[in-house]
């Protein structure tokens, strides 16, 4: 008799936009767990470039070949979502010491408050400087983010915005 219980992990984030670093963590996490749920959430403190459903659809379109990964949308606390799907762990990518400090506090709190473990994956060094916020800032200043996001995502980002000069910032296209 096989006593192996399926190990499910949840990789939460806003993914706005999804980056090559996110995809790296997803691929590596998929190799560690029986099932990985990419949980697309909302952050009320940030203005989103894409809607939650757009972000989920974009990620789904990029996950070909990863049969043990699924994408779901959620709201509320990550630990509540993790318990709802019976996740054994929350997966988090760590880029630098600042991430580690913040994520360490959250991981300890999640374990004490909700009994949910956290597994950290160190980022691939080529993605250590990448963040969705930085990508949006580069776009706002008219820069090229093609090395930071999947090729399929770039036209979707460009379709959202036009650059109207250094002080105009980003404006939605009609």
CA distance 61 to 150: 11
5 in Cβ contact with 30 (< 8 Å)? no
Q: Which distant-in-sequence residues (6+ apart) come within 8 Å of 160 by Cβ?
A: 49, 50, 170, 172, 173
Q: Tokens 């697309």 belong to which residue?
A: 40
CA distance 155 to 94: 28
Residues forming the active site:
22, 46, 95, 132
Q: How many CA atoms lie within 13 A of 153 on its CB side?
A: 30
Q: Which of 67, 68, 89 is nearest to 12 (CA)?
A: 89
């Amino acid at each position: 008799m096989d006593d192996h219980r399926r190990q499910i992990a949840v990789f939460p984030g806003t993914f706005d936009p999804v980056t090559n670093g996110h995809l790296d963590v997803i691929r590596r996490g998929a190799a560690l767990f029986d099932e990985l749920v990419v949980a697309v959430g909302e952050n009320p403190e940030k203005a989103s470039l894409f809607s939650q459903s757009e972000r989920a659809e974009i990620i789904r379109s990029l996950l070909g070949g990863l049969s043990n990964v699924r994408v779901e949308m959620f709201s509320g606390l990550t630990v509540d979502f993790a318990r709802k799907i019976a996740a054994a762990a929350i997966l988090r990518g760590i880029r630098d010491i600042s991430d580690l400090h913040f994520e360490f506090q959250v991981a300890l709190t999640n374990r004490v408050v909700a009994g949910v473990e956290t597994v950290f994956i160190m980022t691939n060094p080529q993605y250590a400087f990448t963040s969705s916020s930085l990508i949006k800032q580069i776009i706002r200043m008219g820069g090229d983010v093609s090395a930071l996001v999947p090729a399929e995502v770039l036209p979707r980002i460009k379709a959202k915005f036009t650059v109207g000069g250094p002080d105009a910032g980003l404006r939605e296209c009609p």
